[in-house]
Amino acid sequence: MTLTKTLFRKKCLHLMKNSPSFHKLYKSELVNKKLFLLLRKVKNKNILVYYPLRNELNITKTITYLRKNNNVLLPFMQDTSFKVVPFRLPLQKKKFNIYEAAHSLKKINNIDIAIVPVVGVDGNLQRIGFGKGMYDRFFAKLKKKPYTIFIQTDLCHTNESLCDSFDIKADVLLTPKYELYP
């Protein structure tokens, strides 16, 4: 049977959902340490982060650290894509149980670094997400590609090329055990 993007996504989601929850705290801590090392000298940058869902790595320690010297941004869902808004508390639970900051009229044209959750990655280090295509549509609108860090709970990677040309590509993939570069 030929491996397709849909089948691979199902396999990765199964792996993600069946990962023991008591390991998530430990795995999140390991990835936060890797992020600290990677981003420790970053200052005055626009950094897009995600606020973690229950089955994703918890990067709130990294977010807190980055907010001290950078402009931290969160996705704000709009139709089939999103725009970015400044990270401001309190966050509100919205569509797909995603926590978002309040809407903002501030126009942000430049993102320097993006930390993006992934379900899986293919042989080109392209993202396989939850299947909605929101990150792909958002990245397509950007004039300049940000340094992109993919975050994954457990490595779910195939050497095959499964993604489409519009699927976003990582500069680095971080998991608790691995770091992959293109």
CATH number at residue 107: 3.40.50.10420
pLDDT of residue 21: 73
Domain region containing 32: 5-18+28-82+92-145+152-180
pLDDT tens-place string over residues 56-100:
899 999 999 999 999 999 988 877 777 888 888 887 887 767 777
The amino acid at residue 84 is V
Enter the tokens of residue 46.
């626009």
Please give the tally of structural domains in the chain: 1
64 inside domain: yes
Q: Quick check: is 87 in a domain?
A: no
Instruction: Tell me, yes or no, whether 162 lies in a domain.
Output: yes
Q: Which residue has the tokens 């795995």?
A: 27
Q: Note whether residue 23 is domain-resident.
A: no
Query: Which of 67-81, 113-127, 165-179 comes out lowest in average pLDDT?
Result: 67-81
- Checking phi first, is residue 125 left (phi over 0); if not, alpha (psi -120 to 50) or beta? left
Higher pLDDT, 141 or 165: 141
- Name 139's Cβ contacts closer than 8 Å, sequence gap at least 6: 114, 145, 168
